[in-house]
Amino acid sequence: MKSMSSKFSVALFIAACASALFAQQLKPVKLPSPKKKGGMPLMEALNARQSQRRYKDEEIPLTIISNMLWAACGINRPEEKKRTAPSAMNNREIDIYVATAFGAYRYDAAAHMLQPVASGDIRAKTGNQNFVARAAVNLVYVANYARMKKIAKEKKQIYAAADAGFISQNVYLYCASEGLATVVRGSISRTALAKALKLGSTQEIILAQSVGYPDK
């Protein structure tokens, strides 16, 4: 009986530690300052740009995630709060959600932080292909139509799709420069993913993009 009680206490202790660690992982994450110099020359990056669907089961350092998100749509003109990617009428309606093995976050470009959204590993929910669960990071491009007040309703989706495309290409070029594998994807169970990301009625998932180390 004593042995069973001891095992139960150990199990509770392990569970408590795991819970505490999990809670810690879901706190806002201040990203390192992005590196804005260096990298592969543009023409070489364009030449190297490609879609890849095989990934190593290996995490990406936070410094690389920081640089990649800044390249995607970070602020490059602080005085005007303008971004590395254009958007229709500067609405900045696309939010990047970042799904990792530790949880899902929303990229806050103004603060250059990851804001926690959902606990648990939801990478598999970001696409219908098997490889998405293996990629270290899955980016989800979500349009918030509430920010597009000056654009006609019937035009909002096409503008949002174009803006998500600009961001995706920035990620492609960054990955080419850093030797990372990536592929943009449209095959997504959007209703299930929207629920997992706790999206609102004015938000719509446009595209997703897997990123990780190539498995060749």
pLDDT tens per residue, range 150-209:
999 999 999 999 999 999 999 999 999 999 999 999 999 999 999 999 999 999 999 999
DSSP state of 151: S
Please give the helix or strand (H or E) that residue 69 lies within, else none: helix 62-73
Please give the helix or strand (H or E) that residue 10 lies within, else none: helix 2-25
Q: What is the CATH architecture assignment of 28-212? A: 3-Layer(aba) Sandwich (3.40)
The mean pLDDT of 50-78, rounded to a whole number, is 96
pTM, 2 dp: 0.87
What is the C-alpha R_g of the chain?
19
Q: What does the domain layout of the chain look like in residue ranges?
A: 28-212
Q: Give the separation between CA 167 and CA 71, rounded to whole angstroms.
A: 8
pLDDT tens per residue, range 101-117:
999 999 999 999 999 99
pLDDT tens per residue, range 76-92:
999 998 999 999 999 99
